Amino acid sequence: MRLNRLFVTSVFTILSASGLRGQDANIVYPVKVVEQRMMRDTFRIIDVRGSRRVGDRTQRVTIAFPDSMVMITKWGASARDGEVFNNSPRYEVAAYDIQKLFLAEDDYVVPPTILRAFDVDYFHAVSDIAGPTFSKTRTVLAVLQYWLSAVSGDSVFDMKRFDRDTAYARNLGNLNLLTYIIRHNDANAGNVLISTVSINPRLFSVDNGVAFGYAESDRGTDWRDLRVSRVPAYTVEKLRKITREDLERTLGVVAEYEIKGDALVPVEPGENMDRGRGVRKKENRVQFGLTKLELDGVESRIKNIVKRVDDGKLKTF
């Protein structure tokens, strides 16, 4: 399938003129609109290709809505039973959700990311090798992530620029705080991106499936540690106010489904069914979230950031 670029440009122009403006050149629609549309709205698929190359595990999928709005997204089918190394939907969603506790929308480091259930036959339009996520169902659970515009994987980490460019320093500081908190363990090229708009050099982490709970990784751990010497003071103050209850409420359960017939149907998240597991199945319910040990790690790393600031070991600006 081929996407008509003139058609897309025309749609963007119409939406901008009608007031449906996004944050900036990187996220061209309002975040809440992106979340709602990816999670619940009906759309048709008009273009599919590998996210980086032919044969990728994830796909770049262009979708069109009934009102002619067009959006480019990244899709990744969940592994069988909901999780394997480098394919952990709960980590992708948790990385997106946790930033909401300490970053404003226009500072988000992870682009809008949701988990959505599709009938296996429908999903074959995207990937004909994907099968049902859980036995006795015909549903593929997939991570959908907004595809960023005007970004590059080049010159992401630049200490000389960090020293002279306040906007870049602020964005790099926020990125590194997020990657440290989630214990990001996949520094492969292309997983961290920078805006090509020099006046607002935002930085993004777009692949967060190897994080939180994996003790070791052979995929590069550059972003697991704090690489910067100073971070935004207002972000630290937000982190200082985060409680264990906030973490439990936000990350303990990030998605929940009910098995109805052979389908998984999204439902409002309920009480954590098993704090020792990340993928939980009980009777006709399936639940995703961070485990107690993973939450302990997040809480510990947040406290360590605050302590390092208070001890003068990590500067703020």
> Which has the closest alpha carbon to 60: 46, 44, 48?
48
**Binning pLDDT at 50, 70 and 90, where does residue 201 land?**
very high
* pLDDT of 119 higher than 60: yes
Q: Which of 71-75, 92-96, 211-215 has the lowest mean pLDDT?
A: 211-215
**Residue 217 — very low, low, confident or very high, per pLDDT cuts 50/70/90?**
confident
The tens digit of pLDDT for each residue in 15-61 reads 443 456 677 999 999 999 999 999 999 999 999 999 887 778 899 99
Mapped onto helix, strand or coil, the DSSP state of residue 273 is coil
For the chain, the structural domain boundaries read 5-149, 151-229+297-310
Tokens of 217: 């990784």
Tokens of 251: 């990350």
| The pLDDT of residue 65 is above 60 | yes
Residue 1 has pLDDT above 60, yes or no: no
**Confidence (pTM):** 0.92
Instruction: Give the per-residue pLDDT at 21.
Output: 61
Percent of the chain at pLDDT above 90? 86
Q: Residue 286 and residue 277: Cα distance in Å, rounded?
A: 12
DSSP for 34-90 reads HHHHHHT---EEEEEEESSSTT-SSEEEEEE-TTS-EEEEEEEEPPGGG-BTTB-HH
Q: How many residues does the chain have?
A: 317
pLDDT score of 220 = 83
Most distant pair of Cα atoms in the chain: their distance: 59
Percent of the chain at pLDDT > 70 equals 92
pLDDT value at position 94? 98
Reported as a pLDDT band with limits 50, 70 and 90, residue 11 is very low
- The confidence score (pLDDT) of residue 106 equals 95
Q: Taking Cα atoms as reference points, which of 72, 121, 98 lies closest to residue 235?
A: 98
Which pLDDT does position 20 carry in this prediction? 61
pLDDT of 9: 43
Mean predicted confidence (pLDDT) in 240-248: 98
Structure tokens that stand for 147 in this block? 């595809």
The mean pLDDT value for 117-142 works out to: 96
Structure tokens at 53: 């190359």
d(CA 115, CA 71) in angstroms, rounded, equals 16
* pLDDT on residue 3: 41
